[in-house]
Chain A
């Protein structure tokens, strides 16, 4: 496999950044990692994952869809879309990589979301295989192998070198663009590291989390479960879980009156909010119990029902560490499983 020694990885970054925008996880002052546009001198974060997911690259939190201008009785519609340039995201973890295929099922299904597609077409995803999974990880429950992530190209590390493998044409183009820096390397040490990671994955506290009790066919049973009331009791109705989630894809469209025109925005919405899916007749989910249920039913029942059994969760564990009251999908799944 092609490799580069660990201390020379910045050469790859510099080479890529010459021709394209490159984004990679960088540590903030408070020790949390976030994706930043690469500039000379930036250091790749060693953290397992970024605080916010990587979905922002394709589905940003807010986005200006279109502008309107009124002149007299005429309304001018202004297309504000900008030509998206090629970019590379480096260091995406296996869970986030899978989240893109989940988002694709929503945004690239007919009717295709052209804003999303535009960015998706121009982005190259270089994933990073995990070597230090955390106690909050449960990607294995959703069939994700953290040591063998998806993505256009994959980067593996054995501690002293980074190895590269292409999965797609885009990935090959990425590797070709830096091939002069790479050399053929022995993967014996890498295989040892991967085997060790697999051992840890197997003994993670959540490794036995099962999805057997969920899926489209369990709709009635789960919807009517009496446990939702108790589970949602502590829920604050904030949007933290949905906003850090790599697969939450609900959005709202808002018109903003600027005083000299209208800007139409799309922004993330959260099923935890009181005005979620509010219609002319009012709100279909009046209490937090129903809103709370919606989030988990969507991920564990509605989504698989519409997508050949694929769940809408990737087990990244962000909601586990971020929820202000520590109520999360794992607790919900375990509680619903108990008969």
Chain B
């Protein structure tokens, strides 16, 4: 796949259709891959990678890149195309300045899951028919590919590209996953158990803002949590309330716009399952206001900027599920 992508990128650069390419650049190790902008065929030949470890969603970089002169080429995995559509819909991306090539997506690997098994000193990772062969400083280790799949790929919502100018590889379908399983499990707990679960998780937060800054839906020029004039800015949570507030408000601000790309949980240095907050909103929206998938199109009204006369009353949430 990497060869096909590189070949096409070089072709489009050569014929002048685009003057830049957004992709993934290899790092010091096999896994530390950085999103990057390539401007020449030489750069692409030297550093461009696309494999099971390139999990970053690069669509948010287009907010900045499409404001520049010339057309930029971007390679989007199926899940990234939803983010792309959502950004286009919100007029954050200048669609005319970007050429989209859809490429097959995951499942991607999360190297942290390998390290969590006690496999350290990783020098190389190869996939041998569903078994990972990991070459380390301390000898070779193996583990099943499935055990190292990134959390964001565990419940893949779609293998279909919702937007593209051309495709490399085959397009897939919207997949039927049980992505709300964990949300349901939490809903069925008692209020005290839920409180304890989230306190335990959110108290790990170091307020690094990685979840916010990676999020393709968080594109405000100035975040409410960075605004000292508002009195709500907090650089570090001095009280558990601030941990709760940051995550509730952040999830709320992307409610109805979050495409469930899972980047927030992927980048969280403390492994907080932040996608469970977003999925709760998605599940509620689906059940209360009708099925809605953010990013599926660029025309429909988002659930929170829409209404019907006979929407349910707020008291409904106090009447359902476990107390």
Interface residue ranges, A against B (CB under 8 Å): 30-32, 46, 48, 51-52, 61-62, 64, 132-136, 200, 203-206, 233-234, 236-240, 242-244, 252, 254, 256-257, 263, 265, 267-270, 273-275, 278, 320-322, 324-328, 330-331, 334
The reply to whether B29 and A135 form a contact with Cβ atoms under 8 Å apart is: yes
Q: Could you tell me the distance in whole angstroms from the C-beta of A60 to the nearest C-beta in chain B?
A: 9
* Residue among A134, A256, A257, A269 making CB contact with B120, cutoff 8 Å: A134
> Which of A64, A240, A268, A326 contacts B235 (CB under 8 A)?
A268
Contact, CB under 8 Å: A325 / B207: no
Q: Are B238 and A267 in contact (CB under 8 A)?
A: yes
Contacting pair B33 A244 (CB below 8 A):
no
Residues of B within 8 A of A278 (CB): 228
Nearest CB in chain A to that of B200: its residue: A29
Q: How far is the CA of A238 from the CA of B210 in the complex (A)?
A: 5
Residue pair A62, B238 in contact (C-beta under 8 Å): yes
List, in ascending order, chain A residues with CB within 8 A of B206's CB: 52, 61, 240, 243-244
Q: Which residue of B lies closest to A328 (CB)?
A: B32
Nearest B residue to A237, CB-CB: B213
Q: How far is the CA of A236 from the CA of B209 in the complex (A)?
A: 9
Which B residue sits closest to A276, measured CB to CB? B235
Query: Is B208 a contact of A239 with CB atoms below 8 Å?
Result: yes
The distance in angstroms between the C-alpha atoms of A184 and B112, with both chains bound, is 40
Chain A residues with CB under 8 A of B29: 135-136, 205
A141 vs chain B, min Cβ distance (A): 13
Other 14 A-B pairs with CB < 8 A, given A32-B270, A200-B137? A46-B118, A52-B206, A62-B238, A205-B29, A237-B209, A238-B213, A240-B269, A243-B269, A263-B238, A267-B235, A268-B235, A274-B222, A275-B228, A325-B214
Tell me the bound Cα distance from A243 to B235 in angstroms.
11
By a CB distance below 8 angstroms, the chain A residues around B213 are 236-238, 324
CB contact under 8 A between A331 and B271, given known A31-B117, A238-B212, A268-B236:
no
Asked if B235 and A269 make an inter-chain contact with CB atoms under 8 angstroms apart, the answer reads: yes
Which secondary structure dominates chain B's binding surface?
loop
Q: Out of A51, A132, A238, A321, which one reaches B270, CB within 8 Å?
A: A51
Interfacial residues, chain B to chain A (CB-CB below 8 A): 27-29, 31-37, 56, 61, 112, 115-118, 120-123, 136-138, 206-210, 212-214, 222, 226, 228, 231, 233-238, 266-267, 269-271
CA distance A218 to B137 in the complex (A): 35
Known A30-B116, A31-B116, A267-B235: A135·B121 in contact at CB below 8 Å: yes
Q: Is the CB of A239 within 8 A of B27?
A: no
Cβ 8 A contact of A322, one of B28, B34, B122, B269: B269
Whether B208 pairs with A243 at a CB distance below 8 angstroms is yes
A240 in contact with B236 given A30-B271, A327-B34 (CB within 8 Å): no
Please pick, from B214, B228, B233, the residue contacting A238 in the complex, using a CB distance under 8 A.
B214
Across-interface contacts of B138 in A (CB, < 8 A): 132, 200
A-B contact count (CB 8 A): 132
Residues on the B chain within 8 Å of A269, using CB: 235
Task: Tell me if B228 and A331 are in contact (CB < 8 A).
Answer: no
A324 touches B267 (CB 8 A): yes
| Chain B residues within 8 Å of A48, by CB | 120
Is A135 touching B137 in the complex (CB atoms < 8 A)? yes
Nearest B residue to A200, CB-CB: B137
Q: How far is the CA of A267 from the CA of B237 in the complex (A)?
A: 9
Q: Indicate if the CB atoms of B121 and A32 lie closer than 8 Å.
A: no
Chain B residues within an 8 Å CB radius of A324: 56, 210, 213-214, 266-267
18 pairs, A vs B, C-beta closer than 8 Å: A31-B115, A46-B118, A51-B269, A62-B238, A132-B120, A133-B121, A133-B137, A233-B37, A238-B213, A239-B210, A240-B208, A242-B208, A268-B235, A269-B235, A320-B28, A324-B266, A330-B28, A331-B27
The reply to whether A62 and B28 contact each other, CB–CB distance below 8 Å, is no
Q: Give min CB distance, B217 to chain A, whole Å.
A: 14
A51 to B116 Cα, complex, angstroms: 12
Residues of B within 8 A of A206 (CB): 28
Considering the chains assembled together, what is the distance between the CA atoms of A275 and B137 in angstroms?
Answer: 42
Bound: A146/B226 CA distance, A: 39
Q: Tell me how far the C-beta of A128 lies from the nearest C-beta in chain B, rounded to whole angstroms.
A: 15
Chain B residue at minimum C-beta to C-beta distance from A322: B269
A282 to chain B, nearest CB (A): 13
Known contacts A62-B237, A135-B123, A269-B235; decide if A205 and B208 are in contact (CB<8 Å): no
Provide the residues of chain A in CB contact with B33, threshold 8 Å. Answer: 326
Partner pick for B208 among A32, A238, A326, A334, CB 8 A cutoff? A238
A62 contacts across to B, CB distance below 8 A = 236-238
Closest chain A residue to B64, Cβ basis: A233
Q: Is the CB of B210 within 8 A of A240?
A: yes
Which chain B residues border A273 with CB–CB below 8 Å? Answer: 209, 226, 235
Complex contacts, A270 vs chain B, CB 8 Å: 208, 235
Alpha-carbon distance between A46 and B118 when the two chains are bound, in angstroms:
9
Q: Which residues of B contact A52 (CB under 8 A)?
A: 206
Q: Is the pair B137, A204 in contact by a Cβ cutoff of 8 Å? A: yes
Residue ID in chain B nearest A288 by CB atoms? B64
Q: Count chain B CB atoms within 10 A of each CB in A132, A240, A325 and give the residue with the most.
A: A325
